[in-house]
Amino acid sequence: MFSATHPKRTDSLNTRLPVEMETRHDKDQLPPTLSHHTEDPQEAEWNKFILKLVETRQQNGEDLDGGELIGASAFGQEGSSGRQKTETLTRLVVGGIPMKLRHPLWMELSSTQAMMQPDTYEHFLKIGEDDDPAEMEAILKDVPRTLTTKYDFYSGKGFQRLKDLLVAFVAKYPSLGYTQGLNTIAGYLLLAIPSEEDAFWVLCNVVENFFPPDYFSRADAMVSPLADNTLLRQYVKELMPQVQKHMDELGILPGHTVPMKWFFTAFSSALPETVLMRLWDIWLCIPNQKQYLFAFALALIAQNTAEILECEDSSSFFSYMDSKIKLPEDPEKLTELMKQAWKIAKKLGDGVAVRRADEVESTKAGMNLENRLRRRRTQSLEVLVDRDEEAGAGTSI
C-alpha cells in the first residue's frame, strides 16, 4: 500500500498497530537497525494518531489501498481540523518517527511518491551497466566500505542493493556522476527504506530538491559546499558574535568553519545514526525545512559554544569540530536541540537561499582567482604578496 509497485497488502491496519507493521525487508536482507526492537513511548502516540486518521478516512469512504499512509496533502483543505492534524503531525515528526514508519512517511511527506516514474528504476539499472568504468570502479570500491564503523551490512548482504542503487543513480544523472559521500547517504536510506527502488527515488529527490543546487555537480565540484561553509560563518557572526570572534582569533578561515562532511553528506558522515535519523525526519518530512540542516549546524555550534571558546589553538578547534562535538544523548534533550534548530530555521527564513546564491558566485570567483594566483606564484613571490593584499576578502577559502 505504500507505493504503486507494491499494491499487495493483505493485513488489515485494524489488526496491527502501524508501528508494528512489517516492513518489506526480506528476513535475510534485514538491515541491522530493524533487527532489534525498541520500546519507544513515541510509538504509542504515532499509533494513536495514525489509527485515528485511518478511521476517519475509512468513514469518509476513502480507498486506502495503494494510497498514502497519512494523507497529509489533504490537511490543507480541512480547515481547523486539518490545521490541528498538521500541528500534531509536526510535533510527532520533531519528536522522531519510529524506524518502521520511516519508509512510508519519508516517501509520502517528502513528496517522493509524487516524483516516482514506474519502471524507470529498472531502466536506469540496465543502462547503468554502461556507466563510465571509472565511476563503476569508484562505486565498487566504496560500497563495501559504507557505514563499516557500525555494520558489516554493505560488505555482505547489502552489497548488491547499494551497488545497484548507486549505479542506477549515476545512469540517471550522468552530469553528476558518483561522489564519495553519496554512498553514505544512500546507505542510510536503504537502512530505513527496505525497497531499493523507493530508496533510489528518495535519493533522487534529496539530491534534486533538498540539497542546494549543484551540490554534487562535476563541473563546479565543491563550490556549493564550500560556499555553504562561508555563508555559515556569516551567520555565526550575526548570531553568535563571541564565537565568531574566537574563531577569528584562532585563525580559522571561513571555508574551515565546520568540517566539509557536515553539509556534504547531510550529516550522515558526522552524526550517530539515532541523531541523524531524527534530523532527516524533520528535513524530509516537514514542508519548507530545506534549510533545516543549515540551521541545525548553527544550533550545534550554539550548543557547543563553551567548548569552542575553550579551544586554545586552531589544532584543538579542528579536532573538536571533526570528532569531539558534543551531542545530547537522551531523546528529550535531543528534541530540545531539534527545536532550537527549528527556531533558528524560522529566523533565517528564505534569506539563506538568496545569500547562498551570492556566496556561490563569489566562491566561484575566489576559486578562480586562487588558481590564477597559484599559477603565477612560481614567477614572483613579491608581486604575489602585493596582489594578495589587493585581493582581500574576495578569496575566502
Partner 1 sequence: MTDSTASAPKPSSSVKLVLLGEAAVGKSSLVLRFVNNDFQPNKEPTIGAAFLTQKCQLPSRTIKFEIWDTAGQERFASLAPMYYRNAQSALVVYDMTKPSSLVKAKHWVAELQRQASPGIVIALVGNKLDLCDDDDPEDEAQDGENAEGHEEEAVRKVSTAEAKAYAEEESLLFYETSAKTGHNVSEVFTAIANAIPETSLKGPRTGAGGGTQAAISGGQDTSRVNLNARGADGAAKEGCAC
CA-based nearest residue to 262, from 307, 299, 316? 299
Select 48 or 364, whichever has its Cβ closest to partner 1: 364
Hunting for cell 536506469 — which residue is that? 124
Contact between 132 and 96 (Cβ < 8 Å): no
Task: Give the range of 17-25, 116-124, 219-227, 336-344 binding partner 1 by CB under 8 A.
Answer: 219-227
Q: Report in angstroms how near the CB of residue 225 gets to partner 1 at its nearest.
A: 8
Contact 108, 68 (CB under 8 A): yes
C-alpha cell at 305: 559554544
Return d(Cα 18, Cα 292) in angstroms, integer.
27
Shortest CB 394 distance to partner 1, Å? 8
Of 352, 215, 376, the residue nearest 297 (C-alpha): 352
Instruction: Give the nearest distance from C-beta 292 to partner 1 in angstroms.
Output: 20
Q: Which is nearer to partner 1, 12 or 323 (CB)?
A: 323
Residues 232-291 that bind partner 1 (CB under 8 A): 248-253, 255-256, 259-261, 264-265, 269
d(CA 110, CA 286): 8
**Shortest distance (Å) from residue 313 CB to partner 1:** 4
Alpha-carbon distance of 307 to 313, in angstroms, equals: 12
Of 4-12, 44-52, 88-96, 146-154, which segment contacts partner 1 by CB under 8 A? 146-154
CB of 233 to partner 1, least distance (A): 13
| C-beta of residue 170 within 8 angstroms of C-beta of residue 135 | yes
Residue 319 in the binding site for partner 1 (CB under 8 A) = yes
Q: Which three cell numbers stand for residue 290?
A: 530545506
The residue among 40 and 370 lying less far from partner 1, judged by its C-beta, is 370
- In the block, cell 531524527 appears at 278
Q: Give the three cell numbers for residue 48.
A: 494513536
**Which residues bind to partner 1, rule: CB under 8 A?**
138, 141-142, 144-149, 155, 179-181, 183-184, 218, 221-222, 225-226, 248-253, 255-256, 259-261, 264-265, 269, 312-316, 318-319, 321-323, 367, 370, 373-374, 377-378, 381, 384-385, 388-389, 391-393, 395-397
